[in-house]
């Protein structure tokens, strides 16, 4: 492909930062030791993993002292979904006498599918509704959490709309009833300020490939002092909390990505929001019958979910693809299905809008030129699709 790709699908996955790749490379052919080995060749690699763990802890505001400090609160995982599954598993094991789990209807399948399985095993799962902005009602949450609730698990930021939940208040409500609190922060890490100590969350999961580290690595914050039953049983790795030889290069890559994200978070957030707002302003000014979904006051700076009424999102994506512009019609995990996303459904977005919804998600590698080009090509695409849409004619 000669023409430059304009990649606006960063909530699906991100480009690995060149600095991250560089940090990883020595661990494939030169420093390939097993961190659990006694010899120095392996032992030195263990020190690199610990440095990565420290960078992750610093991005999340977790405790970290040194390698032998068993209180370290960061556990490496293989992905965000594993972190979500492991947190839910650990929380239920830590509160064995409680049989209720409270979550929301708009969680990622990494949480929802896992909860379905726990429901099958006899737990009562309560999925809270959201309003038209995808926002949670704290009064409803408070009424749903009772003394039988083992865990409240709520995403920090929604992957489709970017809506940010009132996590701090939700955590306080969970703790007031003696329940544990997990947040899926996969879309928040590297885009929002996170301080687990201030928040007092018990578990928080992140995923490398959403913040310019590779796919196939993630991390779970698990608060010290709470017994942790591992999801993956195996060797002594991760202080007995996750068996399996560490994916050393990727752990190092995730550490470097977290270090970089922390160093420039403030500036990056501002720049992402500027580009996102420019995109939305350009679309709204040039195309009729469009609507931006989500909570405009509490939203990720990089995410824009836009409904183009009376047409199919899949067709818009195809035309954008011809112009080498990558976006998404909802969460990547649901593409292939013609059903509108469960998030838009839960928000009550009407069918005529939900079907024509595109998620644009930006990263630090996007430029003004990317946005200008997108705003230039979109109006004729939408006009053309509406010309042949029976719904547009009947409206
Ligand atoms: N949680 C959220 C909010 C996500 O957006 C994703 C991925 O899209 C995940 C969890 C799953 O992460 P992973 O792909 O690393 O398993």
Ligand 1 atom having least distance to the Cα of 12:
8
- Of 394 and 151, the structure prediction assigns the larger pLDDT to 151
What is the value of pTM for the model shown?
0.96
Q: Which of 107, 114, 159, 183 to mutate to test the pocket of ligand 1 (most atoms within 8 A of CB)?
A: 159
Please check whether residue 149 lies inside any domain of the structure.
yes
- Of 4 and 171, the structure prediction assigns the larger pLDDT to 171
CA distance 157 to 166: 10
Residue 19 Cα to ligand 1 middle (Å): 23
Please check whether residue 239 lies inside any domain of the structure.
yes
pLDDT of res. 331? 43
Residue 85 Cα to ligand 1 middle (Å): 11
Where among 219, 238, 261 does a domain terminate?
A: 261
Long-range contacts of 28-32, Cβ-Cβ distance < 8 Å, separation of 24 or more: 28/249, 32/248
Please check whether residue 270 lies inside any domain of the structure.
yes
Catalytic residues: 333
The finding on whether 208 has its CB within 6 A of some atom of ligand 1 is: no
The finding on whether 159 has its CB within 6 A of some atom of ligand 1 is: yes
**Residues 24 and 154 reside in one and the same domain:** yes
The finding on whether 81 has its CB within 6 A of some atom of ligand 1 is: yes
Residue 109 Cα to ligand 1 middle (Å): 8
Q: Is the pLDDT of residue 65 over 70?
A: no
Where among 194, 227, 261 does a domain terminate?
A: 261
**Residues 200 and 347 reside in one and the same domain:** no
One-character DSSP codes across 161-221: T-BBP-HHHHHHHHHHTT-EEEEE-TTTBTTB---HHHHT-SEEEEEGGGTTS-TT-EEEE
pLDDT bucket at 336, cuts 50 / 70 / 90: low
Domain of 230, CATH number, reads 3.40.640.10
Domain of 320, CATH number, reads 3.90.1150.10
Residue span of the structural domain in which 316 resides: 6-13+265-394
The finding on whether 355 has its CB within 6 A of some atom of ligand 1 is: no
Please check whether residue 1 lies inside any domain of the structure.
no
Where among 246, 261, 276 does a domain terminate?
A: 261
pLDDT of res. 69? 55
Residue 294 Cα to ligand 1 middle (Å): 19
Question: Which tens digits make up the pLDDT trace of 94-134?
Answer: 999 999 999 999 999 999 999 999 999 999 999 999 999 99
As to burial, measured by CB atoms within 10 angstroms (0-12 exposed, 13-18 middle, 19+ buried), residue 86 is: buried
Total structural domains within the chain: 2
pLDDT of res. 141? 98
Q: Whose CA is nearest to atom 8 of ligand 1?
A: 12
**Residues 60 and 98 reside in one and the same domain:** yes
**Residues 219 and 300 reside in one and the same domain:** no
The b/e string for 17-41 (b: 16+ C-beta within 10 A; e otherwise) is beebbebbeebeeebebbbeeeeee
**Residues 215 and 323 reside in one and the same domain:** no
**Residues 194 and 291 reside in one and the same domain:** no
**Residues 25 and 76 reside in one and the same domain:** yes
CA distance 335 to 95: 36
Determine the distance from the C-alpha atom of residue 353 to the mean position of all C-alpha atoms in its chain, rounded to a whole number.
24
Residue 315 Cα to ligand 1 middle (Å): 25
The finding on whether 294 has its CB within 6 A of some atom of ligand 1 is: no
Q: Is the pLDDT of residue 306 over 70?
A: yes
């Amino acid at each position: 492909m000669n023409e430059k790709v304009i990649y606006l699908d960063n909530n699906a996955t991100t480009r690995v930062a060149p600095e991250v790749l560089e940090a990883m490379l020595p661990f494939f052919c030169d420093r390939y030791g097993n961190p659990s080995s006694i010899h120095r060749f392996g032992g030195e690699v263990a020190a690199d993993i610990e440095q990565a763990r420290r960078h992750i802890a610093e991005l999340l505001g977790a405790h970290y002292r040194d390698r032998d400090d068993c209180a370290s609160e960061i556990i490496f995982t293989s992905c965000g979904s594993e972190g979500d599954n492991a947190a839910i598993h650990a929380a239920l094991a830590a509160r064995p006498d409680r049989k209720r789990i409270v979550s929301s209807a708009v969680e990622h399948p990494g949480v929802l599918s896992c909860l379905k399985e726990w429901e099958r095993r006899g737990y009562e799962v309560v999925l809270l509704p959201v309003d038209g902005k995808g926002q949670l009602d704290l009064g409803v949450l408070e009424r749903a959490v009772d003394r039988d609730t083992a865990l409240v698990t709520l995403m920090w930021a929604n992957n489709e709309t970017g809506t940010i939940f009132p996590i701090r208040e939700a955590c306080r409500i969970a703790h007031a009833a003696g329940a544990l609190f997990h947040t899926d922060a996969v879309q928040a890490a590297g885009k929002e300020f996170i301080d687990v100590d201030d928040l007092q969350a018990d578990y928080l999961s992140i995923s490398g490939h959403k913040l310019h580290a590779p796919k196939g690595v993630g991390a779970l914050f698990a608060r010290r002092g709470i017994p942790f039953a591992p999801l993956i049983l195996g060797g002594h790795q991760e202080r007995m909390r996750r068996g399996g030889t560490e994916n050393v290069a990727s752990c190092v890559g995730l550490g470097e990505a977290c270090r970089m994200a922390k160093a420039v978070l403030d500036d990056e957030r501002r720049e992402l929001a500027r580009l996102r707002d420019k995109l939305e302003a350009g679309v709204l000014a040039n195309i009729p019958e469009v609507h931006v979904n989500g909570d405009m006051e509490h939203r990720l700076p990089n995410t824009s979910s836009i409904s183009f009424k009376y047409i199919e999102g899949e067709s818009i994506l195809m035309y954008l693809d011809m112009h080498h512009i990558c976006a998404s019609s909802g969460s990547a995990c649901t593409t292939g299905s013609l059903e509108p996303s469960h998030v838009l459904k839960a928000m009550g977005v009407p069918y005529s809008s939900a079907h024509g919804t595109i998620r644009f998600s930006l990263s630090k590698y996007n430029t003004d030129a990317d946005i200008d080009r997108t705003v230039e090509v979109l109006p004729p695409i939408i006009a053309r699709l509406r010309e042949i849409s029976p719904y547009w004619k009947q409206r």
